[in-house]
Structure 1
Amino acid sequence: MDGYLGSYATLGLLLAAGVLVFVGAFGANKLLSPAHPAEPAGKRMTYESGVDPVGGDWAQAQIRYYVYAYLYVLFAVEAVFLFPWAVIFDRPGFGLVTVVEMAIFVAVLALGIAYAWRKKILTWT
């Protein structure tokens, strides 16, 4: 299929095949699954590590775990931006401007880590 509309026809055939597989899988599931599955008495009860649920369903979560996750994401994003920059740094056309941009980026992140260090967020107690 060549030409302008050929690429759209290929995309349409691919989408139609995907929809057919999707509908076929759900249809086979509907046909092959039992109509009225046998349910034991405790099947719909909540289950956690083999211990029967006792008490209320409200529990406190400490905020420090969210802070650690946030800091991890922050430095993972830094790595995502830092590695490609390091790869193209020595190419022509990426001179002082890219060094200054990356210095500003790293400085902002350094301020963030300094703030977290000062507030003693990074201590595990």
Structure 2
Amino acid sequence: MEVSRRLEAHPKIARVHYPGLQSHPDHAVAVEQMDAFGGVVSFEVAGDLWDTARFIDSVRLPYIAPSLGGCESLIEQPTVISYWDQGPDKRAEYGIKDNLVRFSCGVESQEDIWRDLEQALAAV
């Protein structure tokens, strides 16, 4: 939750998709149905495909991986990892933007995770 709040406040983040945030369109439903909101947050870097790739390449802590489950933090750029072969029109139809990032928070310290994301955003 804290990582999503910090991402939402960061000037190099265009949008955060996390049901625990009041800004999420389904927040009220999430509050009714969940005790907690999970460890996966998706967000859009304020930039293009290449800015986002530079961000992903700059993280040090999470593994770059298509899976979003495990003890360690994992990160991916869905456009590149999962949807590249779909082409821009199909990705747009699915709502997969070139600047979208999926991040699964692992068991590392919240402050270590944040410091790593912050230093990687400085590369954008």
TM-score by length of 1: 0.20
The TM-score normalised by the length of structure 2 is 0.20
Larger Rg: 1
Structure (1/2) with the larger helix percentage: 1
Q: Larger % of strand: which? A: 2
